[in-house]
Structure 1
Amino acid sequence: MKTLTFYVVALLCLAATKLNAQVSFEEKAEMIAKNISKITKQEKDSLKIEVEAVNDRLDSKEISKAEAETQKQQFAEKRAKNIEDRVAVEQEKLSDLVKDKVDGKFDTVKTKKFTWYWHSKDSTDRKEIEFKRTTSQFVFALGANRLVTDGGGIDDENFKGRSDFYEWGVSWNTRMFKNNNLLHIKYGLSLQYNNLRPDNDKVFAVNGNQTVLVDAGRDIDVARLRYVNLVVPAFLEFDFTKKYSNGDKTYFPTHKSLRIGLGGYAGLNVKEKQIIKYEDDNDNRVKDRTKGDFNVNDFVYGVAGYIGIGEVSLYAKYDLQTVFSNNEIDQNNLSLGIRFDFN
């Protein structure tokens, strides 16, 4: 039955493709985002099953506690590698998609306003009902990261100014009122890539259940801890784009004037790794990648906002959840940058 269902769905998808070969930029970006979300869920569900199996073996005393921890670590590394490899394929698709967009391979088509008319018996009165108040966008943002230490302000002593972030995803924008274009609800799905770059030849190290900075014992060209969050953002957006009328029809364009968004986000940490580049004693360039658990919080939530003109805006986000789960001193990530909402 599952096989039959698969082929039926495949045939339906093929038929839909034949009927609508011209897929928009936003639709393709949305499909890629859904694929990434699906990949992450599949791998995390598989890891949960594997960990439960190890726990069962531990409870039945088939393996020791040390063996159980080793197996769990191996399964976690395998699933993290699977996520990285599978998501990399989708990222490549997205990169090609953005390149096609920049090269003008997607025609800019204005969204049509679909209407339905109700006619009275004498056909003299009619009432127009508007459809599709929701539009979609591809979101891309980049900028600088700063760690805000509890009671100590921004940590400029231990981190380079080029700690950075970038974010990409899809969003949907829904006009709240039928005949007013000011208020919108903006929501979507995004991947946030946060990079922390220690200064003074320091690297991150796990000390018990804490993550601390230690001296690397050598000259370091690059040291970077990257952690990736899959989040669901939501904003109340004020869009000052004016509506306009053409005869008896009224249109509500978006992303053409001043826009202000206030809101937040919540989600999960899906990957973390440290990358170190240096020259060894034989002047060979070495690149070390350490994947695993640097005690980055599994959950993230925060506040965010943006202000801009058209599709470009200044963007800020602040993680209310600390970066590391068990450190004695709380450190929260602050990001400042530029955001693009390709409508």
Structure 2
Amino acid sequence: MKKTTMILTFLFLSTWAFAQVEDSLKIAMNKTTVFSIFDTKIEVKKNDDGSRTWEFIPNSKVYNEKDSEKHFKRKIKHSTGLDLELGINTWIGDGDAPTVRPWGSWNPAFNTYYAYKPSKNFSLKTMLGISWYNFKFEDRNLQALRSPDGIFFEQFEDGGGIKSKISASYANFSLIPTIQSNNGKFRFGIGPYAGLRLGGRGKFVYRDSTGDRRRQFQMGNMFANDFRYGGRVEIGVGDVDLFLNYDFNEMFQTDKGPKVNTLSFGIIL
């Protein structure tokens, strides 16, 4: 009798252990992590696109399976990534400010983002990144110079100008609530951003009287504002995403340059 009891006990424990191992293998194969907090079982499934699906299922016996599915199961997806933006800068405001040439006034940016998607038609994207303002003047002989009183512009008389511009770089943070169609083919987001200046300078390229190509640099920040803030719009159609940024504060520090606001627009790659 004792021997029979021992055999049955051994078979029971073996079957139970095998079931536990089998469940663990299934979880591993499905890339699913399961854990419990109080009376709620939480399943975290890693999807092929890198996002994760969270399911909250109560263990309480008060609710049957149907009620739990209807009232207590919740799916949350999120994704992270890196994108590149390539846009064009211009400025709006003071009529005495130099005219900016769109081609060559590039606005490149690198961003890392986190998108939280609590529902099918809504997501909240946060971004951290670095962008560069470049303003290339239409008048190639117009040189931007820095003085203690601010930035000023004057015609270059000692040769022929090839390129004249000023630039500034910023570290940025953006928060973009986004809505999208059911099939995801149309997306629209709008939200705020803020940036902290990292650097800046002026650059003038010209040919001297002998025809040699020369460069002059105005080091320093050219009195660009240390802090920028504004509004951002993102529009996506199919696989194409576009952006538009508008700075609410002026490009230059108070009384240190023309009263202009920056507008940037381009494509998200």
TM-score (normalised: structure 2): 0.70
2:201 pairs with one of 249, 258, 273:
273
Aligned in 2, Cα 1:112/1:147: closer, same or farther, shift over 3 Å? closer
Matching residue of 2:243: 315
Residue identity (%): 19
* Number of residue pairs aligned between Structure 1 and Structure 2: 214
CA contact (8 A) 1:306 1:316 kept: yes
CA contact (8 A) 1:113 1:130 kept: no
Are 1:335 and 2:260 counterparts?
Answer: no
Matching residue of 2:112: 170
Matching residue of 2:132: 193
CA contact (8 A) 2:230 2:248 kept: yes
Letter matched to residue 237 of structure 1:
T
Shift of 1:142: 1.6
CA distance in 2, matches of 1:208, 1:273: 15
More helix by share: 1
| 1:214-261 per-position Cα deviation (integer Å, ceiling 9, x unaligned) | 11223111212110111111111112244xxxxxxxxxxxxx421001
SS of the residue aligned with 2:53? coil
Aligned in 2, Cα 1:212/1:119: closer, same or farther, shift over 3 Å? same
Are 1:211 and 2:135 counterparts?
Answer: no
Tell me, which stretches of 5 or more residues in structure 1 are unaligned?
Answer: 1-107, 243-255
CA distance in 2, matches of 1:129, 1:136: 24
Matching residue of 1:240: 181
| 1:52-96 per-position Cα deviation (integer Å, ceiling 9, x unaligned) | xxxxxxxxxxxxxxxxxxxxxxxxxxxxxxxxxxxxxxxxxxxxx
Aligned in 2, Cα 1:228/1:311: closer, same or farther, shift over 3 Å? farther
CA contact (8 A) 1:142 1:167 kept: yes
CA distance in 1, matches of 2:83, 2:268: 7
CA distance in 2, matches of 1:123, 1:161: 63
Aligned in 2, Cα 1:131/1:289: closer, same or farther, shift over 3 Å? farther
Shift of 1:333: 0.7
Tell me, which stretches of 5 or more residues in structure 2 are unaligned?
Answer: 1-47
Give me the CA root mean square deviation: 2.7
Matching residue of 1:260: 188
Shift of 1:209: 2.6
Letter matched to residue 149 of structure 1:
G
CA distance in 2, matches of 1:116, 1:237: 25
CA contact (8 A) 1:144 1:337 kept: yes
Matching residue of 2:214: 286
CA distance in 2, matches of 1:292, 1:280: 25
Matching residue of 1:230: 171
Matching residue of 1:133: 77
SS of the residue aligned with 2:121? strand
CA distance in 2, matches of 1:192, 1:337: 13
SS of the residue aligned with 2:169? strand
Shift of 1:300: 0.4
CA distance in 1, matches of 2:56, 2:100: 59
Letter matched to residue 275 of structure 1:
K
Runs of 4+ in 1 over 6 A off after TM superposition: none
Shift of 1:331: 0.6
CA contact (8 A) 1:209 1:295 kept: no
TM-score (normalised: structure 1): 0.56
Pairing 1:80-91 to 2, within 5 Å after superposition: none
CA distance in 1, matches of 2:112, 2:182: 21
